[in-house]
Amino acid sequence: MTRDEIRALDVFSGLTDAGADRVAACAAELEVPAGQVLALQGDTGSGMFVLLEGTVIVELRSGQVELGPGEPVGELSLLAPGASRVARVRAKTPVRCLGLGREDFLALLEDEPALARALLRTLAGRFAGMLSA
């Protein structure tokens, strides 16, 4: 993906040129068929995904949440040291996504405060939605 394509994703929109170039260099584009599991509850988080096309179902103990293009998935277990995945994530439709490994994600987070702010907005919105449901 190009720098501009990466910045078109909300979570990466505030990255510096160097940050966008790092994502382009280290992120892998993945295609996942409908029904395939991207993350299992209880597993150690090895990376995060940003959905480019398609939808996933996040299966929590309290219910299910559907996420679509532009949404990050799997970031929570990377933000809390020693934390494991809190949900199972399954592709509802065929999915195309960017995968970013743990070490690359954590290094990027250290150098790019805009990424931290974007993730905080995303997480706060999700928690607020769960609390008001």
| CATH code of the domain containing 34 | 2.60.120.10
Identify which has the larger pLDDT, 103 or 126: 103
Mean pLDDT of the chain: 90
**Predicted TM-score (pTM) of this structure:** 0.88
Domain that includes residue 64, residue range: 3-102+110-132
Q: How many domains does the chain have?
A: 1
The per-residue pLDDT for 20 is 94
Q: At 83, is the pLDDT very low, low, confident or very high (cuts 50, 70, 90)?
A: confident
State the first-to-last Cα distance of the chain, in angstroms, to the nearest integer: 36
Q: pLDDT, tens digit, for every residue of 40-65?
A: 999 988 889 999 999 999 998 888 99
Measure CA 63 to chain center. Answer: 19
